[in-house]
Structure 1
Amino acid sequence: MTENSTETHYTHTEDSLQAIDAYWRAANYLSVGQMYLRDNPLLREPLKPEHIKAMLLGHWGTTPGQNFIYAHLNRLIREHDLNMIYLSGPGHGGPALVANTYLEGTYSEVYSNITQDEAGMKKLFTQFSFPGGIPSHVSPECPGSIHEGGELGYSLSHAFGAVFDNPDLIAACVVGDGEAETGPLATAWHSNKFLNPVTDGTVLPILHLNGYKIANPAVLARISHEELQQLFFGYGWTPYFVEGDDPKIMHQAMAKTLDEVIQSIHAIRQQASGQDKIERPRWPMIILRSPKGWTGPKEVNGLPVEGTFRAHQVPITDPATHPGHLAQLESWLKSYRPEELFDEAGRLIPELQALAPLENRRMGANPHANGGLLLKDLHMPDFRSYAVPLEKPGSIHESDTTVLGRFLRDIIRLNESQRNFRLFGPDETLSNKLNAVFEATNRQWEGEQIPTDEFLAPDGRVMEMLSEHQCEGWLEGYLLTGRHGLFNSYEAFIHIVDSMFNQHAKWLKVTRGIPWRRNIASLNYLLASHVWRQDHNGFTHQDPGFIDLVVNKKSEIVRVYLPPDANCLLSVMDHCLRSRHYVNVVVAGKHPAPQWLDMPSAVTHCTRGIGIWTWASNDTGYEPDVVMACAGDVPTLETLAAVSILRQYLPDLKIRVVNVVDLMRLQSASEHPHGLDDTAFDLLFTENKPVIFAFHGYPWLIHRLTYKRTNHRNIHVRGYKEEGTITTPFDMTVLNELDRYHLVQDVVDRLPQLRNRMAYLKQQMQDKLIEHRQYINTYGQDMPEVRNWTWGI
């Protein structure tokens, strides 16, 4: 039943294996009960239709296999005093994790109404997939979980993120054979090339081959034993096989295999601890092949169920109105012999209670699965000491992310002893100009190195793999187990993790309402190489739409920041890295650009989140004729350039410049905690004056955020309109009509008093656009008056 056996042989007594089998039967019984019953939880009377739930929801197919794994891991934890958490990749196996955390006692500790007796069991059953109850998958409500059932494909990435910098932790990760077909999971097997056996913990993958997905065979379940073994050997793992359907044989095989696996893990770690140069180890993994819906009905309505796709969800579909189905369900439940497992009060008998680990060694109670319990504040340098010195607005050009890199470098240095901060990204740390971090650390890399490599070491704070999925999953696992991090990425390609962001935001939203869950560090994104400065990459790299997705989430969870310069970026990032339980999205430029605010002004502006730039405005003491608003570094530059033209040609025109750093300030205070109330919004944007708004992203987002505002009808937004190519930086703004010349024309068009007398100015702006096109087509760069423009008012 097992391969790759070591020379040490393990035997387990029949009594010990029978006890594990009984515990497994108890978990299976509770799992079936959750799916079907709302009364008569211990079958103390014949099963009746009124004992059955009106709606039958849940997933049986993966559940018995996961119960089997959990019971055997409990034994391993007790015998070896292991620090272990459990990740359920086939996350719809919610009944299994709820059942097991109930059996070990954790569930009743966090939910005092779900007591360890018949009444508590009834509530446990009734709440499952029931209005006002709990979901059918492994959800945040389930103690011990750091992986949501909807996150198909990310379990192994989360497991690795959990064990980075946790040398004592083992993350047992059950991978479903359907899940194994997803791109993220298929790539995640390579995470073993990044695991340091001295400073990091251990991931124990358990590939659960039960043969089917919802309706189709699973690919890995239908390839030969030899091919499967070679596949994982090629990935760098040592696969151990446990295969069959006879419980007695399978218990012996699983117990023996786990003993061999834990011996292998201990040997790897012991060997690595005594070496100066660490060779990448070949970590063990388990391939468990068991029938889908194991121990369930063999057939229903004359069709085979166990071992087929029909076992995926609810095998017996109509017990409330179909007498044959009711009898079959009762027979199924009684096959687990509950009278042997639970006493008269409905408690698990003491002999079986003793099989669960104790206190925090229980997988449902492990503090690493409630990471806020372990979270420590970062040691933070004073971000003000990294300020770009500035005598007047626009007098200096600097790369915003280059400046930020020095701040991040010193955060890494200050937290070296705590080992609780990492930077994640898909091979873009240097490209995004965060070069300074490599003065303090390297990329973590356990593979072969050659002399021409740079910044690679077995122990580093930077995690890079050219897979946004892995970087996101690693970071989420790192955060969920009580640490801090930052994900830097090209803006256009952060869309690759849209669904992962969705699920993490949902996790944060749900856990805010669970009293026993503790807040974790925020998920921080730095999006650089953004839409307006992708001149050499072109259209494929031009997409600012991630922030549109982000603002769909609950307002108490999401924040979006568009700092206009380096000092504002420093202030914003300091705030984000100190924050808890948010998703923070920060968009910043990497190319040298004008710097607008000195540090004291930047702190004030970022604290406010939105404000009038008085030095760029000339409406002090007057009602403005027009409001020029901007959000984002390039829109801010083009807005100020347009203002300089307007003030040159129309010195009497009263212009108010409003800059937005915190995008959610635009939303109503009733919709978002950062939102401005209507009075404050009207004071900034007026109640009836034209507002020309230059925005970093798609224009419609500003309209979404402001549609209820008094002056919304007068807000005209310029932003990205899906026009792009390989071109000059300024031409990107021209193609999308966000440039200074279009903004000036917008002002002329929207002020009736200017339309007739400013025809010459409008034509001059149109001529400038023609001149621009001719110039870049001839010289391949922007006009000198654009390249060399500075704020001179």
Structure 2
Amino acid sequence: MTTALSTTDPRPAQAGAGLPDWGRAAAEARAAVPDEAVDAYWRALNYLSAAQLYLADNPRLARPLRHEDLKAAPRGHWGVCPPVNYLLAHLGPLTAHRPDDSELLVLHGAGHAGPSALAHAYLNQNLPQAGSDAWTLADLRALVASFPDAQRFGSEITPLIPGIRHTGGQLGPALAIAQGMALDAPHRLVVPLIGDGELETGATAAAWLARRALAGSGEHGAVLPVVLANGLRMGGPSLLVGLTGEEIGAYFTGLGYLPLVADGSDLPDFRRLLGEAFTMLRPLGEAGPQPVVVLTMPKGHTGPEHVAGRQIAGTPAVHKTPLASPLEDDAEFAALADWLASYRPAELLTAQGRPADLVRQALPGPALKPPVAQPAVRLGTGPQRSRADVSAVLRARAEHPGFRLFSPDEIASNRLRLDLDGSTPDWAVEILNEEICHAWLQGYTETGRDALLATYEAFAPVNTSLLVQHLKHRNLRYAAGHANLPSVNYLITSLGWRNTYTHQNPGLASAMLELEDPSVHVYTPADATRAAAVLAAMLASRDRVNFLITDKHGGVSFPPGPFRDELSRGAAIWSHLSFGPGRPDLVLASAGDIPARQLADAASALRRTRAATTIRYLHINDLTVLGPAGTWPAALTRQAFTELFGDNCPVLLAVPTFPGAVRALLAARGEAERFHVVGYRDPGRPASNDRLLEHADLSAPALSARATRLIEENRR
């Protein structure tokens, strides 16, 4: 049963000018592929999803089920697979008949649909199991028997499975990531599959409105959200299931969408509904109602309804394995045999393990066009560019295609001048939501383009969990052989050292360093011109997660001479602030612009008061060079570390972050004892900028006094 819910009926023949004719493609797919083929494809996906949970052998039920065919302990998730499979089966013909030079991407928000994704990859010949290029019975047996293969694919949605572009366990941002993928890509249609539990997350709730922030920001592709309103979260009813049909309509129409609701019971009707949705598609950011498909198919649909008087359908039991112990429980064994046989697998899979001809009619056909990475745009990164500022670097990068700046309503506040007339260009988008900015950046970079998120230092930690999950996703992509992605780039400014008490939290850098992920770099340049060169290097890099910490207020510019080494080695000695002959009595080291200003003043004071002392001054441009080489690729070698920091003298290190994360880097190298790290310390109440520096022992007088004590203590 299908229903279009709307207060009006704004259904143009083709809403999205500039988009491929997706409506026509859907009509051609319906004409070319019979309903019976789509149904067979859906049954095949459902059968293989269930078989992976339970079967160790007899993968196509060529003979009646036996106890020895079963796994000792069924594991995995069943409930979300049937509605996901229903959409995949319907999208297969459309993908095969998509318009020329177009691309259709499916984004799995439901991370537990791992069996579905594996079944889909197998049927589409993207998952060779036995080393062959064609389907074989051995391949089919391996697919079923090896699940969950923790070493190869795991049991959930990850990029280890061919064709997956989003790690579904990253709960919430699928809709916004889909929007990021569609930006600046008019040829692309992205279909995010969103669980109704996900609708309860802040990221999804904000993403519905977020598309309005993209108005006038360029020519984009389309996003067709599909809500899998199956009624259950993992442990109980979802909030969406408590809404009436009228309330669901009011909810989505109020957000600017036209909801098309179906329960999936009438397959031909659902195909027509999808065709209607494709006809109504508009480019992302274009005004007017966008279609959203709401599939109310029950969780675990087509699975067992009840066993031995115990209700299964409509309960949390369908989330994982609805039948927990079929080997020990005769009633469950009988129910499992009936359940698997209900899909008539012998009709769907040949004796050779191939999908039957009817199933193959609905398959997507040739693989989707892979995302084409934009050629890297190289901006000069050496001292010759040291007169540029951050804004100039961004403007230069934006002269080339494939670049976006995302910011949570802080472009002007962060003193970024993106257009010489002071306006905001269409390649920069603001929305007051850190998570949406990150999700847009993630979708944009995952499809081969460069992006930057610019934000306040204090609010950036909101994205800590998203970044952790994104790093896991990228590591799995690399493990699957999909490297050479644009880097994830954050510009962290409006620093707490110059902000109100509520706007003081340098915690994101600490959290990222604690991950010990080798792709992470935390850049702490000493001045604005150095920050510009670092940003240019970040935007030209690949497969990194870069954080640039820089004060938006600018200030003192230091001599550019050492910067080449700062950029290439991550740290360099500043001769103009070093003095005295021979081995140093004390090493002064700064990281970040505000610490560099304070420690430079302290060094100048020491030159006046401790002229007989040997002081070595150096600046650290990348905090990760302080860590051990086994963890951090950019780490200083033992020789380079000694050349910079000496081997037995005290080191006073001033950083813009929490000092604990930097101490941990040094401790992992075995160098914690002689390093005295000072950084941000919460004052406990509002304080002036000068008072905050004093409280953290990071003012020039406090640093000078601390240095004097260290010199005297070292001579005893």
Q: What is the TM-score with the length of structure 2 in the denominator? A: 0.92
- Structure 2 counterparts to residues 353-502 of structure 1, below 5 A: 353-360=360-367, 365-368=368-371, 373-378=372-377, 380=379, 386-388=385-387, 403-413=389-399, 415=400, 418=401, 420-435=402-417, 437-439=418-420, 455=424, 460-502=426-468
Task: Quote how far apart the aligned CAs of 1:143 are.
Answer: 2.0
Please report how far the alpha carbon of residue 158 of structure 1 lies from its aligned counterpart in structure 2 after TM superposition: 0.6
What SS class does the counterpart of residue 659 from structure 1 fall into? strand
The answer to whether the 8 A contact 1:114-1:124 is kept is no
| CA-CA distance at 1:476 after TM superposition | 0.2
Partner of 1:124: 143
Instruction: Name the structure 2 match of 1:326.
Output: 333
The aligned residue for residue 786 of structure 1 is none
Is 1:627 matched up with 2:587?
Answer: yes
- Does 2:89 match 1:86? no
Which residue of the other structure, out of 221, 226, 230, is the alignment partner of 1:206? 226
Structure 1: 4+ residue segments shifted above 6 A: 7-15, 753-756
Q: Which residue of 1 aligns with 2:18?
A: none
Instruction: Give the secondary structure class of the aligned counterpart of 1:40.
Output: coil
The answer to whether the 8 A contact 1:561-1:584 is kept is yes
How far is the alpha carbon of 1:303 from its aligned partner? 2.3
CA deviation string 1:440-482 (max 9, x = no partner): 8x9xxxxxxxxxxx647xxx10011000111000010000011
Which is further off, 71-80 or 291-300? 71-80
Post-superposition offset of 1:234: 0.8
Structure 2 residues not aligned, in runs of 5+? 14-22
> Measured at CA, do residues 300 and 490 of structure 1 come closer, stay the same or move farther in structure 2, by a change above 3 Å?
farther
Instruction: Provide the C-alpha distance between the structure 1 equivalents of 2:715 and 2:151, rounded to a whole number of angstroms.
Output: 61
1:746 maps onto 2:706 in alignment = yes
**RMSD over aligned Cα atoms:** 2.6
Kindly provide the CA deviation profile for residues 357-401 of structure 1, in whole angstroms up to 9, marking residues without a partner as x.
Answer: 2213xxxx4413xxxx4332126367756533xxxxxxxxxxxxx
Q: Are 2:567 and 1:606 aligned? A: yes
- Cα deviation 1:176-223 (Å, max 9, x = unaligned): 000000001001011331456971000000111100101121111211
Letter in 2 for 1:212: L
Determine if contact 2:385/2:533 at 8 Å carries over to the other structure.
no
Residues 575-606 of structure 1: per-residue CA shift (max 9 Å, x gap): 111111110111011113111132x5323322
Query: Is 2:91 the counterpart of 1:73?
Result: yes
Q: 1:380 to 1:708 in 2, by over 3 A?
A: closer
Q: Post-superposition shift, 1:711?
A: 4.5
Equivalent position of 1:294 in the other structure: 301
Asked whether the equivalents of residues 687 and 711 of structure 1 are also in contact (C-alpha less than 8 Å), the reply is: no
Q: What is the Cα deviation at residue 114 of structure 1?
A: 8.3
- Report the count of equivalent residues: 695
Aligned twin of 2:19: none
Percent identity of equivalent pairs = 32
SS at match of 2:294: strand
Query: SS in structure 1 opposite 2:616?
Result: strand
Evaluate the alpha carbon distance shift between residue 747 and residue 291 of structure 1 in structure 2; reply closer, same or farther with a 3 A threshold: same
Correspondence for 1:396: none
Q: Deviation at 1:669?
A: 1.4
Aligned to 2:514, the other structure's residue is in SS state: coil
- Equivalent residue in structure 2 for 1:219, among 236, 239, 252: 239
CA–CA separation in structure 2 for the residues paired with 1:205 and 1:105? 27
Which residue number in structure 1 is paired with residue 126 of structure 2? Answer: 106
Matched residue type, 1:678: R
Shift of the 473–710 alpha-carbon distance from structure 1 to 2, 3 Å rule, reads closer
Report how far residue 675 of structure 1 moved. Answer: 1.0
1:269-305 Cα distance to aligned partner (Å, 9 max, x none): 6xx9xxxxx9612111111111110000101353222
Give 1:554 shift.
4.5
Q: Using the TM superposition, give the Cα deviation of residue 56 of structure 1 relative to its aligned residue in structure 2, in angstroms.
A: 2.7
* CA distance 1:170–1:725, shift in 2 (3 Å): same
Distance 1:682 1:80 in 2: 61
Determine if contact 1:527/1:585 at 8 Å carries over to the other structure: yes
SS at match of 1:173: strand
Counterpart of 1:564? 526
- Mapped to 2, the partners of 1:315 and 1:136 lie a distance apart of 16
Q: Are 2:654 and 1:694 aligned?
A: yes
Distance 1:554 1:341, change over 3 A: farther
2:548 corresponds to 1:586: yes
> Unpaired runs of 5+ in structure 1?
273-277, 389-401, 443-453, 757-793
Q: Secondary structure at the match of 2:140?
A: helix
Q: Take 2:514 and 2:706, find their aligned partners in 1: how far apart are those partners?
A: 30
Per the alignment, residue 503 of structure 2 pairs with 541
Greater Cα offset, 24-33 or 324-333: 324-333
Report SS of the residue matched to 1:751.
helix
- SS of the residue aligned with 1:215? coil
State the 1:726 CA deviation.
4.1
Q: TM-score, normalised by structure 1?
A: 0.83
The alpha-carbon distance between structure 1 residues 106 and 358, as it changes in their structure 2 partners (threshold 3 A), is same
> Shift in Å at residue 678 of structure 1?
2.3
What CA distance in whole angstroms lies between the structure 2 residues aligned with 1:422 and 1:131?
37
> What is the distance in 2 between the residues matched to 1:76 and 1:614?
66
SS in structure 1 at match of 2:479: coil
Q: 1:554 to 1:743 in 2, by over 3 A?
A: closer
Distance 1:575 1:754 in 2: 40
1:724–1:638: structure 2 CA closer, same or farther, 3 Å change rule?
Answer: farther
Q: Structure 1 residues 130 and 754 mapped into 2: Cα distance closer, same or farther (>3 Å)?
A: closer
Q: Does 1:735 align with 2:695?
A: yes
